[in-house]
Amino acid sequence: MTLVLVLIGGALGAPVRYLVDRWVSARHDSVLPWGTFTVNMAGSFILGVIAAIVVVRGGPGWLLTVAGTGFCGALTTFSTFGYETMRLVEDGAWRQAAGTVIGSVTVGMGAVIAGWAAGSALGSM
């Protein structure tokens, strides 16, 4: 059953990742990988919310499996982040590459923390 939940979440997250990445990238004339950054930050926030709902609020464990592992796992992409950062380095865009790494880690952690806070606050209002 766990595998089925991961497959369902992944089947939803992968096309969302592709569509959001293309939509964001088409709107930015930049060497920076804004599409990948967007899906990674959104996934980090969503995972923070879902994890807090399960851990703090006592939500069902299957929610973390389908939405966390499945959906967010397919939505976010470390491999593309790494590839696009290496392309920036190869193109001599060292500052942009460093900014991408630092910004992604910093904003990603902030997104998880904000998501956790939002998920923890759900139902307490």
Could you read off the pLDDT tens digit of each residue along the chain, which spans 125 residues?
Answer: 999 999 999 999 999 999 999 999 999 999 999 999 999 999 999 999 999 999 999 999 999 999 999 999 999 999 999 999 999 999 999 999 999 999 999 999 999 999 999 999 986 64
Distances (CA, A) of 15 to 19, 43, 76, 85: 6, 13, 11, 22
Note the pTM of the prediction, 2 decimals: 0.93
Domain borders along the chain are: 2-121
Grouping H, G, I as helix, E, B as strand and the rest as coil, residue 26 is coil
The pLDDT of residue 46 is 98
Cβ 38 vs Cβ 24: under 8 Å:
yes
Grouping H, G, I as helix, E, B as strand and the rest as coil, residue 83 is helix
The pLDDT of residue 111 is 98
Residue listed under structure tokens 């930050």: 41
Q: What pLDDT digit, counting tens, does each position of 101-125 carry? A: 999 999 999 999 999 999 999 866 4
The pLDDT of residue 123 is 63
What stretch of H or E contains 100? helix 94-121
- For residue 57, report the phi and psi dihedrals to the nearest 5 degrees: -90, -5
The pLDDT of residue 19 is 98
Distances (CA, A) of 109 to 37, 103, 116: 13, 10, 11
Residue among 38, 6, 5, 4 at smallest CA distance from 19: 38
Residue length of the chain: 125
The pLDDT of residue 100 is 97
